[in-house]
Amino acid sequence: MRSIFNLDSPIMSFLSRVGDLVWLNLLTLLCCIPVVTAGAAFTALHYVSIKMVRNEEGYLTRNYFKSFRQNFIQATLLWLLMLFVFVVAWADFYFISMMDSGVASVMRIGVCAIFFFYLCGGIYWFPLLARFDNDMKHTIKNACLLGIIHFPKTLCILIIYAAAIVLYYLFLFRIMPFVFLAGISAPVYLSSCLFSGIFKKLEPQEESSSEEIGQSV
């Protein structure tokens, strides 16, 4: 019985990880309250989550706010750009839906296809910003390239996020406690298992020149 409660036992390690995810979730929710700061909050969440996957998290809260401060400006600009794209896509889809013609169906499929490929790159924005020192132009460019190059993993990440959104939509009131405890951090942690492997192939280049990564990914 003593071995079960040993700090190095699988059960205690699992409980410790769950506790970290709960704390990360609360930090992210608090930092998202002003809405405009959500980009920096998501960037910090990815920064710590990838470190957790690699067992490098150290001081969780300190690392979270370190990333939050360092990436605040770029993360906020990326977040506003992301919101703008979502609004434009929704508006396009709405007005096309008001049309009653065969052309409208084709246009609707076109908008959905464009939005899907946008999502394939968009999910890399904040993780890339968290791990690499690049300007917005190279972050967006690299995100698009990684989304295409690693499409199978990109699709898995999209499925993780989509499954979480569907569950929240269908069972929101039943799982509301979970949403507040780990509803954001858990899906990001799962996706970070994939982000970590993708980024490891790029990180050796970062030591020689982070700008070189921005040009060559």
Write the pLDDT tens digit of every residue in 18-31.
Answer: 999 999 999 999 99
Write the pLDDT tens digit of every residue in 157-211.
Answer: 999 999 999 988 888 777 778 878 889 999 999 999 999 999 998 886 544 434 3
In whole angstroms, give the CA distance from residue 28 to residue 202.
27
Write the pLDDT tens digit of every residue in 78-126.
Answer: 999 999 999 998 998 888 878 877 788 888 888 889 999 999 999 999 9
